[in-house]
Structure 1
């Protein structure tokens, strides 16, 4: 490991104007602005570790009913049908739409659950003060890559489009899975708002 990764950062560059400034020491909830362009260069989110751990646990609990419980039921004439996230992926696979099934499974199931698991692991390590840089630096890098991969909102748009198209031809009923799915999606959004990646790098990379 090089010396650059074992010392605390001393210089911070503004992403807007490239102005260099001393690395600010902030408390939770504080923010630092560039003296030249007034752009926010660093923001410490309030209580990021506890909030991220709580949201990750809640999201993982909600993922089970969100994935497996029926989201919507449809009755057309004498035919009854229900759909869930898992059954939708399975139906795509049975119809030989293998690529679409794999992509849907990855972006709507594995990616969001992976984000929650990584956030939970890293948050617990910080809380317990048992940070292992060699094993968890890859997790931080993977979280940053996977951060924009989950597409739960795209599946939600598909549900809304289906509702709009089928409402005149069939009786639609919303099941508990839809509530779980919406809460699951909101937990992912809440994790983005609470997860402090800058703090995480400071804690794990330089063992602050």
Structure 2
């Protein structure tokens, strides 16, 4: 299957399992250097999903998953039956594993909950204007420097909460729109809606 096909199956499964979901596709974090294929906010906890189709390489999987653990509360690798053995071999035990097929999503291994988050990574998804509002040093211009300063002055739980609220604000409207427009299943247009930056107001798609 293609990555898009797996995204549709995964997003549809999540939409059925979590009616109040807030979901983002290709969510950028770690100063935009990394992107989660799909991210789910549920009860103010953020779960990432890294998709590895049968044709994807797994040589960088360890590095990718380490960055996920520094930002997200839970992490899953989503693969196909044909590359499950390879994924198992390259995925640390704390990371969950799911299998995607035309029949839906099958749970293979549950993710641990990650608590050792990196404060600068959490800060990296916050806007510069927000970071400046939390900084007492108005002369700092670089976002990296702002994140470093904010991280030195605030507890990890405070910054984690800011990041989750920011995700909610970013994707809540788009998620509501998808719920409003959704047919029997999530489709490619819904995936596109969840990939874009959320509009400020809710409106229906037009053909």
- Name the structure where helix makes up a greater proportion of residues: 1
Question: TM-score, normalised to structure 1's length?
Answer: 0.24
Rg larger in structure: 1
Question: TM-score, normalised to structure 2's length?
Answer: 0.24
